[in-house]
Structure 1
């Protein structure tokens, strides 16, 4: 039985408004093909790790001292070893890897807020990473290496090179990536196997909150109206989503 999105319309409506376009039907038609399920799950798994890595980079760059930064690297290392070095995938010790209080840097007023929101995001993304691997195991989909989509790189390429606008732009980009992920989970959920559909629906609230957290931090750091910059990235994101793309990925554009 297909999952219902009716209870989530109030959550999804602001995301639809925030994005510059909906996912094209051509991408959805490609994504729901049974032959593409392994690639969809593998790339989704990679996206969860990349989301955690992005948050770790932001914390280390802007929010914490060196010792705390090293603790973050230790936390994510088992996941990176699995993806990049084909390690066993034993994450049993990772849940408690971040023990103790991370120390904020002095002199950056927004550090504690970045730290608070991004640590929660990291915990959730790494948990989702493990959940996707569990589904892959149940579906007998082995993890394999796949190249990254053009999507994130296409957005990051527009980030300004001077502070505080580098940070503001990276936070805006994070908001769009999380919002698009949420929108695509909702698009996919009714069309996939019920277990995957229910899992994707279970991700909607956290992904929606992640986009809101990123956007709130961008507004806070900028301390001025960022609507024009958001509109700029909305246009760039929509171009990536609606233009022809030679490879299928979770965040790819229209299949060429």
Structure 2
């Protein structure tokens, strides 16, 4: 008897995501939890790096630097927490091939400023929003109660992160411009996930 999959429809709708995660991804993730955990470790490290790199690119943007400093610190804390789970489950740290998700999203960043800044912030918001949704789905479907609790506990910070990126975009632009661009990028992000990647990943 298989466990009933809790669909993404049961997770509160996330405004900036155009389409919810499909049940096929949930089933793939739960069937490959060790790989998902390892990929999650890489994701937290990369998320810290994204925040830090943005601070280096825009050092005069005081509000951005202050808020992304806090995000980078929290992402590194999550990186350590996930690595503790890897150790607990005897999963060695190892490289993984990246899914096409991140490269495809990055390809949508425009090159001229301030468009580059706005796109970078909004893509980070979308990635964090998708992380929020999918970590919640793992928590809702995970057969290990302790691990499920861990994943559900991460949801609040992921929601806060995507909110910060979104608000920063509106701070450095205007709301109508941000909403229009966010809809475009959100539609593109959903198209990337329309076909399930053959390798289980947090963003696949």
TM-based fold match above 0.5: yes
Separation in 2, partners of 1:190, 1:167: 35
Deviation at 1:14, TM superposition (A): 5.4
Does structure 1 conserve the Cα–Cα contact (< 8 Å) formed by 2:16 and 2:183?
Answer: no
Structure 1 runs (4+) greater than 6 angstroms displaced: none
Gaps of 5+ in 1: 64-104, 106-110
Q: Secondary structure at the match of 2:98?
A: coil
Separation in 1, partners of 2:51, 2:72: 7
Does structure 1 conserve the Cα–Cα contact (< 8 Å) formed by 2:39 and 2:96?
Answer: yes
Match of 2:3 in 1: none
Match of 2:12 in 1: 13
2:119 is the alignment partner of 1:169: yes
Q: Which of the two has higher C-alpha Rg?
A: 1
Summarize deviations over 1:128-180 as a string: whole Å, max 9, x none. Answer: 00000101111111111111121111111011110000000000000000000
Summarize deviations over 1:62-96 as a string: whole Å, max 9, x none. Answer: 02xxxxxxxxxxxxxxxxxxxxxxxxxxxxxxxxx
Does structure 2 conserve the Cα–Cα contact (< 8 Å) formed by 1:165 and 1:222?
Answer: no
- Which residue among 15, 21, 27 is the counterpart of 1:23? 21
How many correspondences in the alignment? 195
Separation in 2, partners of 1:14, 1:146: 30
Q: Secondary structure at the match of 2:165?
A: helix
Gaps of 5+ in 2: 1-5
Separation in 2, partners of 1:181, 1:229: 20
Q: Secondary structure at the match of 2:170?
A: helix
2:67 is the alignment partner of 1:117: yes
TM-score normalised by L of structure 2:
0.91
CA RMSD, Structure 1 to Structure 2 (Å): 1.7
